[in-house]
Amino acid sequence: MGAVKDLYYDIETLFIEGYTAKAIALELKVPLEYVNEVLSDFGVEPEDFEEETIDPTEWDVAFPPQGDYDPFNTFNS
C-alpha cells in the first residue's frame, strides 16, 4: 500500500474505533482539515459526529516531550 492509502486506512480505522476527527488529527499528526476531507470521502460529514473540546494538556500526551533540550549538551560537544 502507498503512504496515502495507509493514512486513509488509519483514519478510517480510528474513526470506527470511536475517535473524533480532532483526536485522529492529534494521533496521526496531520491537519484537521485533511482528516475531515478523508472522512468526507467516506461519506461522513463533520456534523455527523460530536466534536470534543481538546484540552491543551492533551498535547503533552499526543506529543510527549523528547527530553531536556540543552544546547550545550549535544553529541558534538
Q: pTM (2 decimals)?
A: 0.57
Residue 19 CB: number of other CB atoms within 10 A? 19
Q: Is the pLDDT of residue 51 over 60?
A: no
* pLDDT band for position 44 (cuts 50, 70, 90): confident
Residue closest to 59 by CA, chosen among 21, 15, 23, 32? 23
Domains of the chain: which residue ranges? 3-62
Structure confidence at residue 58 (pLDDT): 65
DSSP state string for 28-57: HT--HHHHHHHHHHTT--GGGSPPPPPPTT
